[in-house]
Structure 1
């Protein structure tokens, strides 16, 4: 199946940015990992697939539980970074919705925010169901919408500078999208054949220095980074100025940003034979 325009944009967005992601947004994205592994039933001896492993945080945590972990990512730099983070695990270059594994190969599959980055979420979930053994569990996270105030900070700074989404960054096709709510995310998993689906909302405050938080977009990390770095230097400076001004409402006495974030975590089982 050919990649969508959204998939191709995602590959360009993340190319060469593994280290910049590790130094900016990776800590934020690692927050749900323990809950994600619990939801997937990751335990000692389980065959676990971590899809969209990024820097390897979920894979490392699953290994620490004694699981036998395989990890994949669509970006070569992330694969290399994850291999350094979790020495000795099987890390492969692969992209949803096509994985290089046999049917029913895994007891558990986890995908930490990976569905945010695929052009065909339903096809991706069907593929995850395919590689799950009967009764195996899948657990995934996505960002909730509308975004929490901390998550929206960088976008607010961009809009304050009068910047919109550039034409070279396509959005997910409307027919592929789904409501980023508990009901919408649970419905997506159930639609693709998983059973016993449950979805919960995670709310937490992420602490980061202003320098760390700005370093991600300044290096072109994620869609927000692509929006920022596609602007001329004068506009980038204006966006940064708005970021600093708007960030004051989230700044504590130590000068750290305290950023409220909200995500959804959903899990379900592959039907038993």
Structure 2
């Protein structure tokens, strides 16, 4: 049975970055699932392993998106609660994971009591919040003492495949629109293994923190890789579509040209690419009281 519950996403906790993220993802669950969603799903098995997700575990999947981690956790026999800040993502996740309890909620304010979950995961969710430290503190609050928190983010500098779209935007001479703010400097942190681990350590109340890099070649096509940005998905999509169809087409031509260096030799489909990506996976255990 599918459970979809609403929760007030408090505007008082939103930064300009959070508001921009809401605009970037609004109504784009299907476009995300068809492209970037496949990419982001790669880290899910390792994420669940790090969190110790097994049968009977009560798990929170924060920033579930279209539900890849929730589905995988259900397959392991976990009891899953999933949240996302975007209603379209909530609907998609509920359809993909009908045995999960899926709710509309945004970090850093979750509608759960202290210690409600045995483990918490967030697959790239910290890339999309304006106050990562506050978000991490909230995840720690809702995870029981002794429970694990496992999170992924994209590494910086980005791997070559991840940088492809940004390179095309720069080659086309397209600036970042003023209504697409970057994370405030005081809220940012180094997107390195040590920087991510230190973020968890500095949160307090987390022990045994460790962080590792996950690298892989994402197989896609030029057409599929372009589909998400052209539909306005994520921050890069807002940049790509910010100046109208003529400029969007100019960026697309640069994507096609730059993608040639990632062509898979002997690829089975025209335009087959292998795009190198690197993510960081960090895990910590909530201290016993």
Q: TM-score category by the smaller chain?
A: over 0.9
Q: Please say if residues 61 and 82 of structure 2, whose CA atoms lie closer than 8 Å, have aligned partners that are also in contact.
A: yes
Q: In structure 1, what is the equivalent of residue 231 of structure 2?
A: 219
Note the 1:164-203 alignment, pairs <5 A: 164-193=175-204, 194-203=206-215
Superposition deviation, residue 235 in structure 1: 1.2
Q: Distance in 1 between matches of 2:245 and 2:21?
A: 23
Aligned length: 273
* TM-score, with structure 2 as normaliser: 0.93
For structure 2, which runs of at least 5 residues remain unmatched after alignment? 1-11
Q: Which secondary structure state, in structure 2, belongs to the residue aligned with residue 150 of structure 1?
A: coil
Match of 1:133 among 137, 144, 147: 144
Q: Distance in 1 between matches of 2:228 and 2:239?
A: 12
Q: Which secondary structure state, in structure 2, belongs to the residue aligned with residue 267 of structure 1?
A: strand
Q: Within the alignment, does 1:87 sit opposite 2:98 as a pair?
A: yes
Q: Which secondary structure state, in structure 2, belongs to the residue aligned with residue 99 of structure 1?
A: coil
Match of 1:37 among 42, 48, 51: 48
User: What is the root-mean-square deviation of aligned Cα atoms in Å?
Assistant: 0.7
Q: Which secondary structure state, in structure 1, belongs to the residue aligned with residue 239 of structure 2?
A: helix
Match of 1:239 among 229, 232, 251: 251
Match of 2:63 among 34, 44, 52: 52
Q: In structure 2, what is the equivalent of residue 78 of structure 1?
A: 89
Q: In structure 2, what is the equivalent of residue 163 of structure 1?
A: 174
Q: Distance in 1 between matches of 2:109 and 2:210?
A: 25
What are the superposed Cα offsets for residues 173-221 of structure 1, whole Å, 9 maximum, x if unpaired?
A: 0000000000000000111121110000000000001111000000000
- 4+ residue stretches of structure 1 with deviation over 4 A? none
Superposition deviation, residue 28 in structure 1: 0.2
Q: Within the alignment, does 1:16 sit opposite 2:27 as a pair?
A: yes
* TM-score, with structure 1 as normaliser: 0.99
Q: Which secondary structure state, in structure 2, belongs to the residue aligned with residue 178 of structure 1?
A: coil
Superposition deviation, residue 232 in structure 1: 2.2
Q: Which secondary structure state, in structure 2, belongs to the residue aligned with residue 111 of structure 1?
A: strand
For structure 1, which runs of at least 5 residues remain unmatched after alignment? none
